[in-house]
Amino acid sequence: MKVVSTWVLVLVGCGGTTDHRIQPGTGEATDGGVVARCSETLSFVIDHIMLPSDRADARLLGCDLDGQGGIDNQLGQELADFSALGVNVQRALEQSVATGKQVLLVDLCAADLKNVAAASFRVSVGRYLGPTWDPVVAFSGNGEFARDPTRGAILDGVIRNRLGQFGPGAVDLPVALVAGAEPLHLTLQSAQVFAVAIAEGGRRIDGARVCGGLSEPDISAQVIPAMAQLLVQRIAQGGDLAVQLCATFDGAHRCAPDAASCGRFSAGAAGPPTDCIRPSELETNATASAAIRPDVVVDGLPLMSFGIGFSAVPAVIRADVP
């Protein structure tokens, strides 16, 4: 089978001379007890998250996760293949961003946002502080957010010519892949963040991406069930492809009495049961199981590579709130 969520970046420009570890709730970074006080805080909320639209795009959003010299983005490739089948995964992600279901915050502590040899990038899950979510306000430059101090990670890195690279580390990644379903809560292992094009004055971040790997438990418990739901969404559109998918994955005839009947589904009409393709049917299918599996090994851990892009606009970050 070729077959956030809102994120927020807080870029903290530091006036001190040392690196490294951002202290929660402060404008400081410390290294061995030496404190660098940040003189300015630049805050951003991610207003767009980009999944690969095709396999070439998947390469652009991936990274060399295992150090073997190639570009890794296995899950990105599979999601691009779903898009080619007519399943709009990108739209589900955009809806998640627009409704504020997930917020991800990042702090950058560095002596200079143009060139610095050592910087820290703290990634944390957060939440919107307005009375009710309003995307117009949230993305206006005045939206207020708070980070959860219990759910975060610190990635060390560098900034060269306003292009930041950070990691590796483990990053919480809430991401919606299925329209109408709750976002997945993935942990991106050995994650790297490329905060490309940090605009002078902190007006915007464009062209950034995050990539890393998903563990086998995340693949089994979250990715494969999501893929099964995406298959059902494509079957619901009917046509010859729906017949082929039912013939391949619906041996128990839960979607329709027979594969031919799947071809008679149509968009906007009553579709098949939403759980008619079971995750076990993907796990036991040779083609599907070969596609949705670890493709790299990092520090002895098998991982399925995944990379996405994002852009960000200014925001306001308040105190830490668990």
pLDDT digits (tens, 9 = 90+) for 192-214: 998 766 666 557 778 889 999 99
Most confident of 79-88, 115-124, 255-264: 255-264
In a domain, 1, yes or no: no
In a domain, 184, yes or no: yes
Mean pLDDT lowest among 97-111, 132-146, 288-302:
97-111
SS (H, E, C) 57-74: HHHHHCECCCCCCCCECH
Asked whether the predicted pLDDT for residue 37 surpasses 50, the reply is no
Asked whether the predicted pLDDT for residue 14 surpasses 70, the reply is no
Helix axes 89-99, 74-84, angle to 10 degrees: 110
For residue 102, the enclosing domain spans 6-223+293-317
In a domain, 243, yes or no: no
CB atoms within 10 A of CB 274: 14
pLDDT-derived band at 229, boundaries 50, 70, 90: very high
Mean residue pLDDT across the chain: 82
Asked whether the predicted pLDDT for residue 138 surpasses 70, the reply is yes
pLDDT at residue 211, rounded to an integer: 95
pLDDT-derived band at 300, boundaries 50, 70, 90: very high
pLDDT at residue 270, rounded to an integer: 85
* Of residues 304 and 113, more confidently modeled: 304
Pairwise CA distance, residues 87 & 39, whole Å: 47
Q: What integer is the mean pLDDT of 215-231?
A: 96
In a domain, 197, yes or no: yes
Mean pLDDT lowest among 33-47, 138-152, 159-173:
33-47
Asked whether the predicted pLDDT for residue 74 surpasses 50, the reply is yes
pLDDT-derived band at 8, boundaries 50, 70, 90: very low
| Residue bearing tokens 């005839």 | 253
Q: Please check whether residue 184 is in contact with residue 223, taking contact to mean a CB–CB distance below 8 angstroms.
A: yes
pLDDT at residue 277, rounded to an integer: 95
* Of residues 278 and 27, more confidently modeled: 278
Mean pLDDT lowest among 2-6, 95-99, 101-105, 316-320:
2-6
pLDDT at residue 59, rounded to an integer: 94
Asked whether the predicted pLDDT for residue 4 surpasses 70, the reply is no
* Of residues 160 and 242, more confidently modeled: 242
As for how many domains the chain has, the answer is 1
* Of residues 250 and 162, more confidently modeled: 250
CA angle 3–231–90, rounded 5-degree value = 75
pLDDT-derived band at 240, boundaries 50, 70, 90: very high
In a domain, 233, yes or no: no
Pairwise CA distance, residues 7 & 21, whole Å: 21
Structure tokens at 163: 């292009």
In a domain, 266, yes or no: no
Q: What integer is the mean pLDDT of 214-222?
A: 97
pLDDT at residue 43, rounded to an integer: 76
Q: Say what percent of the chain tops pLDDT 90.
A: 46
| Residue bearing tokens 């990042």 | 106
Q: What does pTM read for this prediction? A: 0.85
CB atoms within 10 A of CB 244: 14
pLDDT at residue 202, rounded to an integer: 59
